[in-house]
Amino acid sequence: MSPVIAVVAKDFRLAIRAKALALGFDAIGFTRASLAPDARTRLRAFLTAGQHGEMGWLEAHAAQRAHPQALWPEAQSVIALGLNYAPAEDPLTNLTKQDRGNISVYARHRDYHDVFKGMLKHLAQFIVKTHGPQVKVFVDTAPVMEKPLAQQAGIGWQGKHTNLVSRQHGSWLFLGEVFTTLEIVPDTAHADHCGSCNACQTICPTNAFPAPYQLDATRCISYLTIEHAGPIPEEFRTAIGNRIYGCDDCLAVCPWNRFAQTSGHAKLRAREDLTAPRLADLALLTDEQFRKKFTGSPIKRIGRDRFVRNVLIAIGNAADPTLIPAAQSLTSDPNPVVAEAAVWAVARLAHFP
């Protein structure tokens, strides 16, 4: 690259960084629109081992996922962004509340996809206005390997729990990207700072890590409660405890969280009714009530039946006989997965002293 282009690019990086921070992003870095061969090989190994389970969309678009330029051939650079969603309280404290459900931190407030995408569009508009390139914005749902790209862009590293960890924000960063046709001087990839720690692997209730840095999604409570459609396999039901939507255990236990500041984003403030909701109330939600309650929330996507299935597993683990009537009333639910979970819950509660 000629010195002149390098100077322009450097100023431009500063301008984008300043704009991103002004818009409310908490982390930003730049990388080329290509992935290191390791990330591609490991994606292939994950898929070949069937560790993606029913998430067929991971396999269907594997080529684009592995090669950002297969997704968009003109892309030259990726601007990786992070949004801090660190909770005000330790999410693990909820797990001992028998009559309550635990919703993972990322789903206790407005859908982050909407919040993040809105901010990305503003940043993209700024880039187009000032430098005129083409841009595309992504968050979560596109076939993009967001964690390796964010590591390449220097935002943090993929920890042994496989998520991106930041020295400043711990495990609590949402990720998203602006792809652009501009060539921007890349940042240096972030080094791994897990060292000899293995707290995330040790705490996992379902032993979902076959090895450090590898996740068998089919054993992960996040997958089982959100992505998996049928009955939850018996072997995981007790371990799920009261986690009714996702799981944060491996994130919450990470020692790097001690540097995290509670998220200041008003749109990411936890809804009170989703912080530790009563299982008895959730079990009895009708389809209409479910949709109304979860409008604007990521939970809406899984639908009433899958959600109530999860609530019934938590009820079966609750050792609280006052929950029997709620479970009993669902044993003849028209949805067979709900009815089966209700029968299981009633049988479990009958065996508690």
Binders of ligand SF4 among residues 173 to 202 (CB under 6 A) are 194, 197-200
- When binding is defined by CB under 6 A, the residue of 16, 20, 153, 175 that contacts ligand B12 is 175
Residue 261 and residue 263: Cα distance in Å, rounded? 6
| Residue 338 near residue 312 (C-beta atoms within 8 A) | yes
219 vs 348, beta carbon nearer ligand B12: 219
* Residue 255 sits in the site that holds ligand SF4 (CB under 6 A): yes
Q: Is 319 helix (H, G, I), strand (E, B) or coil?
A: coil
| Residue 251 near residue 215 (C-beta atoms within 8 A) | no
- When binding is defined by CB under 6 A, the residue of 25, 72, 179, 223 that contacts ligand B12 is 223
Verify whether residue 192 is a known catalytic residue.
no
Picked from ligand B12, ligand SF4, none, the partner binding residue 147 (CB below 5 to 8 A depending on kind) is: ligand B12
Residue 213 and residue 59: Cα distance in Å, rounded? 20
Q: CB count, 10 Å around CB of 160? A: 22
Host H or E run for residue 31: strand 27-32
* Residue 254 sits in the site that holds ligand SF4 (CB under 6 A): yes
The interface region with ligand B12, picked from 10-18, 26-34, 125-133, 220-228 by CB under 6 A, is 220-228
Q: Which positions from 84 to 113 touch ligand B12 by CB under 6 A, shown as an x/- string?
A: --------------------x-x-------
Residue 88 and residue 195: Cα distance in Å, rounded? 27
* Residue 221 sits in the site that holds ligand SF4 (CB under 6 A): yes
Binders of ligand B12 among residues 188 to 217 (CB under 6 A) are 213-215, 217
* Residue 124 sits in the site that holds ligand SF4 (CB under 6 A): no
The interface region with ligand SF4, picked from 11-19, 25-33, 242-250, 308-316 by CB under 6 A, is 242-250
223 vs 236, beta carbon nearer ligand B12: 223
36 vs 285, beta carbon nearer ligand B12: 36
For the record, the structure tokens of 12 come out as 């431009």
The interface region with ligand SF4, picked from 71-79, 159-167, 261-269, 285-293 by CB under 6 A, is 159-167
What does the longest C-alpha to C-alpha distance in the chain come to? 77
Picked from ligand B12, ligand SF4, none, the partner binding residue 160 (CB below 5 to 8 A depending on kind) is: ligand SF4
Q: What size, in residues, is the chain?
A: 353
Q: Where do we find the tokens 């949402």?
A: 174
| Residue 314 near residue 244 (C-beta atoms within 8 A) | yes
Host H or E run for residue 178: strand 173-180
| Residue 181 near residue 170 (C-beta atoms within 8 A) | no
- Measured CA to CA in angstroms, residue 31 lies from 35, 153, 197, 301 at distances of 9, 5, 28, 32
Residue 180 and residue 285: Cα distance in Å, rounded? 44
The site for ligand SF4 (CB under 6 A) is made up of: 159-161, 165, 194, 197-200, 204-206, 208, 215, 220-222, 247, 249-250, 253-256
Active site residues: 140
The site for ligand B12 (CB under 6 A) is made up of: 39, 42-43, 46, 55, 58, 104, 106, 139-140, 144-148, 158, 161-164, 173-176, 213-215, 217, 220, 222-223, 226-227, 246-248, 250-251
